[in-house]
Amino acid sequence: MKLSRTVSYALQATLQLAQVGTNEPVPCSQLAAEGKMPERFLLQILRNLVAHRILQSTRGVEGGYALERTPEEISLLEVIEAIEGPLSTALPVCEGLPEKSRLKLEKSLSEITNLARRQLQSVTLADLMPEPMAVTQAQAAEIPAGSRLAGGKSLVRGQAAKST
C-alpha cells in the first residue's frame, strides 16, 4: 500500500498531537518544525482534518490545533480517508479482459480492499504511540543500591522510596 506524502504528513501531525497528551492547541508552525514538514502544505492538511472532525482549531495568539477526540477514538482509516477519500477498488475499464476474468479480478480486489479497511479501522493513534518507559524488576535489580533519582529519592529493590 502506497501512501501519499499528504497522508504521511496527516498521520505524522495527528500522532504529534496525540503525544502532546493535552487539549492545549499546538501551533501549525511548531508541528511543521518538529516534524520537518512544509508549514504552508501542513496548514492545508490540518484544515482538512478539522473539516473531517479529527482535529479542532483555536484561533488567536494562543491558538493552534488539537485532537477532536482521544487517540483511542481516531483510527488510521479515518485519517487516510479524510485526506484521500474512501478506499476504493474502482478499476479502469479492462477492455481486453474476458468478462469472467474481469469479474474475478474485481471480486478479489474488493475483498482485499475490505480487509485493508478493517485493518486500518482497527489501528488507532493510541496504538502507535510509544509505550511509557517502565523499569522492570530485572532492570531494577541491576541498579546499584543507594542510587538516587531526581528529587532525592533512592531506589530500594526496584521501588522508589523516599530517602531520609
Asked whether residue 13 is domain-assigned, the answer is: yes
Q: Indicate whether 157 belongs to any domain.
A: yes
Please check whether residue 154 lies inside any domain of the structure: yes
Query: Domain containing 25: what range?
Result: 5-86+124-128
Q: Can you give the pTM of this predicted structure?
A: 0.74
pLDDT in tens, 2-55: 889 999 999 999 999 999 877 889 999 999 999 999 999 999 999 999 999 999
Shared domain check, 79 and 15: yes
3-state secondary structure the chain: CCCCHHHHHHHHHHHHHHHHCCCCCECHHHHHHHHCCCHHHHHHHHHHHHHCCCEEEECCCCCEEEECCCHHHCEHHHHHHHHHCCCCCCCCCCCCCCHHHHHHHHHHHHHHHHHHHHHHHHCEHHHHCCCCCCCCHHHHHCCCCCCECCCCEEEECCEEEECC
Instruction: Establish if 115 belongs to a structural domain.
Output: no
**Structural domain contains residue 96:** no
Is 137 domain-assigned?
Answer: yes
* pLDDT digits 0-9 by tens, 100-147: 988 888 888 889 999 999 999 999 999 998 876 555 555 555 655 554
